[in-house]
A and B are shown apart, each in its own frame.
Chain A
Amino acid sequence: MSIQVQGVTKTFGEFVALDDVSLDIASGELVALLSPSGSGKTTLLRVIAGLEWPDAGRVLFHGEDATDTHARERRVGFVFQHYALFRHMTVSENVAFGLRVRPRPVRPSEAAIRAKVQDLLELVQLGWLGERYPHQLSGGQRQRIALARALAVEPRVLLLDEPFGALDANVRKQLRRWLRRLHDEVHVTTVFVTHDQDEAMAVADRVVIMNHGRLEQVGTPEQVRAAPATEFVRAFLADDDGDASGIIPSWQPEPSFSSRTAHAMSSGRVPLLG
């Protein structure tokens, strides 16, 4: 499911969050929206999701104008920065939510729902946590449940708002690798928002760098590093470059996130996440 954003502008009172933003995202791509805090990237994500209405411009999904469509009809999966898990429901009930609220004609049977929920929990390697409550989980676990919940309804597009922002550094690194693998397996068009450039560069197919509500540059991580289009991009990437010294380690292909590997992982023979 491709996404086209055309000329979207969004203001909050005096503050211009998005200024005539246009962007094309191909079906199956994994795109990162990267910028320092407060530059409108979360707003753009929310406009795509239908959680904000743009003041001007359009959002199209696969060529269809979705600008006036309500969030619940867009079939987007949204993962919030602070997970937004339903506290009074178990993990399984959280993941099953999207399926249970379907209108009766299109709702799967209880047995089918439970099977699907279990599959998803095992996909995120938390099959054993189904009966726990969110407050009993760690931050990293909650984030994976939030992802499983979003995936349950088979969204056309997956949107993640600073998904690892609230987690500590080690967990972030593990989860970002894991997200990449998941995307390789599932192939849903994915857009995620981050202010961490290492994260964006390591995970995304393409990176969209924003500043003050405008797009500065769009390109693959290599393109953006090699040829910064504006002074802002150059300065932003030069910041906290640490020890990379300009050479980007290219994305190492890893064994595919296949069922055999996943089996092995979940049985403890191959440690993935602690």
Chain B
Amino acid sequence: MAKPQARSFELTWGDFLPPEAYVGDKAPTARVGARQEPAAVRWLLIGSALAFLVLFLFLPLAAVFHEALKKGWDVYVAAIAEPDALAAIRLTLLAALIAVPLNTVFGVAAAWAIAKFDFRGKNLLTTLIDLPFSVSPVISGLIYVLLFGAQGWLGPWLQEHGLKVIFAVPGIVLATVFVTFPFVARELIPLMQAQGREEEEAAVVLGARGWDLFRRVTLPNIKWGLLYGVILCNARAMGEFGAVSVVSGHIRGSTNTLPLQVEILYNEYQFAAAFAVASLLALLALVTLAVKGIAERRLAS
């Protein structure tokens, strides 16, 4: 085929010329761009992607509302207005109302320290903040049982003082705080790092101090990232199941959150009621997605 290649710098043009049939002899191709697949491949890919998403996303979402309304609107409303359901709603809201602001303050503080200052151990700190993310929900609840449960470290002390953490509301709040711990921080840290320190430094030179500095300079810059983190934190706080299941006593009417209430109703074969309560959470999820979308778009611009 090729003649032996002498090591010369003359390009041996012609040794690799392909047969004439390969050159310019083809029938004109349908106009497919240099970066495009043939139309058939494109539609196949779109079809596969949509089929996958319909199967795994749309169907479950549709099923929730379908099952909730299957027995009619009256049954639906009755299930939600039921005292145990209302108590669950109250407890869920309470847990979220405590966990979300606490973790938001933490997130802001952590992001402020990490993004605006240099110190040793920053990477370790960031990794530690991420820890709750990687821990299984059941274990997130377990660790509090081991600490505050009857057999835990502080168990005897709590019993002595008549305080209940596990199988009571405080335990539920604690578990919720743990699982939603990193959300706001994870969102704010890279954002504030990308925004740098110059604006704040300029403000300091101009005489701004402390809280004023934060409120007037930093906060406006991070507000969409903050919203994004808060809304995700809230969604997880209201929807947490595994961790809360472990620390709750499953006592209807007092230590049940909405997700736990769903489980109880479902296990008692009250499917319509279970799905009715679940539909509230699904609506929350849709609102979360909507707000998230808005925050994302503002963040990107």
Interface residues of A (CB under 8 A from B): 50-51, 53, 61, 64, 66-75, 99, 102, 106, 108-109, 112, 115-116, 119-120, 122-123, 151, 153-154, 185-186, 259, 262-263
Contact digits for B12-28, partner A, Cβ 8 Å, 1 yes 0 no: 11001111001110101
Interface residues of B (CB under 8 A from A): 1-2, 5, 7-13, 16-19, 22-24, 26, 28-29, 31-34
User: Most chain-A CB neighbours within 10 Å: which of B8, B16, B31, B32?
Assistant: B16
Residues of A within 8 A of B34 (CB): 50-51, 70-72
With the chains together, A99 CA to B15 CA distance in Å?
A: 12
Is the pair A112, B2 in contact by a Cβ cutoff of 8 Å?
yes
Residues of A within 8 A of B9 (CB): 119, 122-123, 185, 259, 262-263
List 18 additional A-B contacts (Cβ < 8 Å) besides A68-B31, A73-B29: A66-B24, A68-B29, A69-B29, A70-B34, A71-B34, A99-B16, A102-B18, A108-B2, A115-B7, A116-B5, A119-B11, A119-B12, A122-B9, A154-B11, A185-B9, A185-B10, A186-B11, A259-B10
With the chains together, A115 CA to B9 CA distance in Å?
A: 12
By beta carbon, the residue of chain A nearest B19 is A106
Q: Are A106 and B10 CB-contacts (below 8 A) given A53-B33, A68-B31?
A: no
User: Measured between C-beta atoms, what is the minimum distance from B33 to chain A in Å?
Assistant: 7
Q: Are A68 and B11 CB-contacts (below 8 A) given A112-B2, A116-B5?
A: no
Is the pair B28, A68 in contact by a Cβ cutoff of 8 Å?
yes
With the chains together, A71 CA to B32 CA distance in Å?
A: 10
A-B contact list, 19 entries, CB within 8 Å: A68-B29, A68-B31, A70-B32, A71-B34, A73-B26, A74-B24, A75-B23, A109-B1, A109-B2, A112-B2, A112-B5, A116-B16, A119-B5, A119-B12, A123-B11, A154-B13, A154-B17, A259-B9, A263-B9
By beta carbon, the residue of chain B nearest A106 is B18
Is the pair B5, A115 in contact by a Cβ cutoff of 8 Å?
yes
User: Most chain-A CB neighbours within 10 Å: which of B19, B24, B32?
Assistant: B24
Residues of A within 8 A of B13 (CB): 154, 186
Residues of B within 8 A of A74 (CB): 24
User: Measured between C-beta atoms, what is the minimum distance from B270 to chain A in Å?
Assistant: 56
User: Measured between C-beta atoms, what is the minimum distance from A154 to chain B in Å?
Assistant: 6
User: Measured between C-beta atoms, what is the minimum distance from A64 to chain B in Å?
Assistant: 5
User: Measured between C-beta atoms, what is the minimum distance from B26 to chain A in Å?
Assistant: 6
